[in-house]
Amino acid sequence: MNLFTLDNLFLLLTGLTAIYLLWRFYTRWSKGKALYDMYYMMGFLVLLVSGLLLIFLGLGILASPYVLTVASLIPLGISMGIVEEYFPQWKKAFKWFALVGFLAIAISAIFGMDIVKKISVPLFHGVAGLVIFLGPFMAKKAPKGFWWVGIGGVLIGLGGIALAFISMGAQLLFFSPAFVMLILTPLLLLMTLAFTFGFVKDIKG
C-alpha cells in the first residue's frame, strides 16, 4: 500500500485543517457550552476520521454502505450547528428532519433498500447542503466573512450528491465515477479550507 500519493496528501492536509477547527470549536465550547459547537465538532470529527480511513484503506471504501451512512454525519452536524446558532426558531423541526433523514439513509444503505435510498440520500444531502450554503448568507447576526461557510456548503453539496448517485449506480450530470474520484480529495481540502475561513470569523465574532 502506497501512502505517499497526491490523494493522500490532500487528505492529510484536510485532516490537519479539521483538527485545527476541532480545537477552535472545543475552545469556544469549553467557555460557553453552546450546543451548536457540539454539532460542528461532530461534523468535523467525522470528516477527520473519514479522511484517515481513506488514507489507510483507499478510496474503494466509498462503496461501502456503512461509509455512506457515517459520511452523512458531516453535513448533518454542520447544518444542525448553523440552524441551532442562527435560526433557533427552526431548530426543532430541522432536528426531526435530520433524524428521520439519517435513519432512512442508514437503514436503506445497510439493508439494500434501493428505492428508499434513491429518495432519502439526495433529499437529505440536498436540504442539508442548502442549509449550509444559504444559511451563512441569510443569518442576520453572522460576522463578516461567515459567508465562506456557504462556499464550503456548495462544495460539500456537490460532492455529497455526486457520491450518492455513484453509490446508487447512477451519474449526476458530468460527475462520472472516474471524474468524482479525480476531484474528490482536492474538493474535500477546498471545502474544509472554505469552512475554516468562515468558522474562524464566526468564532472570533
Does the residue 1 lie in any domain?
A: no
Q: At what angle do helices 35-57 and 177-204 cross, to 10 degrees?
A: 150
pLDDT value at 175 more than 70: no
Mean pLDDT check: name the lowest of 72-86, 122-136, 190-204. Answer: 122-136
Structure confidence at residue 89 (pLDDT): 94
Residue with the larger pLDDT of the pair 122 and 132: 132
Q: Whole domain around residue 85: which residue ranges?
A: 6-204
Q: CA–CA separation, 203 vs 205, rounded Å? A: 5
Domain count across the chain: 1
Shortest CA distance to 18 belongs to which of 58, 54, 59?
A: 54
- Give 163's contacts (C-beta < 8 A, 6+ positions apart): 62, 68, 71, 180, 184
Share the mean pLDDT of the chain: 84
Q: What is the band of 164 on the pLDDT scale with cuts at 50, 70, 90? A: low
Does 88 fall in a domain? yes
Quote the CA–CA distance of 202 and 205 in Å, as a whole number.
5
pLDDT at 162 over 70: no
Q: Could you tell me the pTM of the whole model?
A: 0.87
